[in-house]
Chain A
Amino acid sequence: MQLVELQEKVVGRSDVAVVGISYDPVEVLSDFAESRGITFPLLSDVGSRVLDGLGLISPVTDDDLEYWGFEKKQHHLRLPYPGVFLLDAAGVVVEKKFERSHRNRYSAGSLLEALGKSDSVSRVTATDTKSGVAVRASLANDAVFPNQVFDIEVSVAVTPGRHVYVDPVPDGYQALTIGIDAPDGVFWDPPELPSGHDIEIAELGERFRVVEGDFDVSIKTHIHESVKDVSVDVVVAYQTCDDVSCDPPTELRLSLSLTVRPKG
């Protein structure tokens, strides 16, 4: 549960204020705060007047209700989009974290990092180097809740003077791919890779698209509630070359061990 994790990971451990807002009456929020140990303010917007004024009320369709598996009830017809606004010290919105599915919420670590508060975050990290490429994979949590959305950050450093290929590549060459190998129930979006630049090898009469130097990508991930503690492998496949010769295609595999917490 996002609010419980924010209580544990943010309140008293950083200078970031946490504020919840829902359409629940005060009594419901009071019971909830007491049973879950929430000490930050949970604001009660009965009738959703303030949420509506902020433009956060979503019309709910029959398709939504069917997807969620809910009977149609009056209080389901106008609901706030669930999500998080991140404000800087001046009160300006620096980022909005919303997900289409209400089941997917961002982790406290991801939110702290988005506010530049990485120091307050416990990370899980793995690094390895092969064939002129160093890769660091990490995530801003040591434990995750089912369905929580978190980013696995992958930093890649290609040795100066060398490059890796990106698609499209001629047959027989290995283009850079970055993905995840994990048991069923670990869901991830393929990261956006750097687009690189073209080089032409006159002797071969071939053009290649290559990436040099350092770059970072992030893999948006979440874990189904059926999964217990899990090892997630970040797999980076590539082939490095310099102006003269190429290494054979290879891959680096970095394992991140995640504790999956019971649903709060």
Chain B
Amino acid sequence: MSLQFDPGQKLRPIDFDSVGPAVGSQFPDIELPDQNGSVRSLKAIRGGGPAMIVVFRSADW
């Protein structure tokens, strides 16, 4: 058997249920400029379909 090890376990635990909008709730509409400088709303981007919203820590590290 390979070693069972999760690097995340070394860090203090976080209850992600309480981070950000809850499961079962409406995700708020947000408006921000995209990479082309055009202001976009989440609602318009989704266009009535499902979505993945990826929160990432900078493309520039």
Contacts and interface: CB of A to CB of B under 8 A. Distances in A.
B59 A24 contact: yes
Contacts of A33: 35
B57 A79 contact: yes
Nearest to A101: B8
Interface residues of B, number: 53
B19 to A, nearest CB: 6
B24 A45 contact: no
Given A55-B19, A93-B21, A182-B2, A83 B55 contact: yes
Interface string B1-32: 11111111111111011011111111111101
A181 B1 contact: yes
Interface string B30-46: 10111111001011011
- Which secondary structure dominates where chain B touches chain A? loop
A51 interface: yes
A186 interface: yes
A71 to B, nearest CB: 12
> How many of chain A's residues touch chain B, expressed as a range?
35 or more
A91 B8 contact: no
A92 interface: yes
Interface in A169-190: 179-190
A96 B20 contact: yes
Contacts of A63: 11-12
A152 to B, nearest CB: 13
Interface string A40-76: 0111110000110111101001011001000000010
A85 B56 contact: no
B34 A22 contact: no
A93 B57 CA distance: 21
A20 interface: yes
Interface in A1-40: 2-3, 6, 10, 15-24, 26, 28-33, 38
A103 B27 contact: no
A182 B1 CA distance: 6
Interface in A102-130: 102-104, 111, 115, 117
A154 to B, nearest CB: 15
Contacts of A83: 16, 19, 54-55
Interface of B: 1-14, 16-17, 19-30, 32-37, 40, 42-43, 45-60
Given A19-B52, A91-B42, 15 more contacts: A16-B49, A41-B45, A43-B30, A63-B11, A80-B56, A81-B14, A83-B19, A83-B54, A89-B46, A91-B46, A92-B26, A93-B26, A98-B14, A101-B11, A184-B3
17 contacts: A17-B45, A21-B53, A22-B57, A24-B59, A26-B34, A54-B21, A55-B21, A64-B11, A81-B55, A84-B55, A85-B55, A91-B46, A96-B23, A98-B14, A180-B1, A184-B3, A187-B7
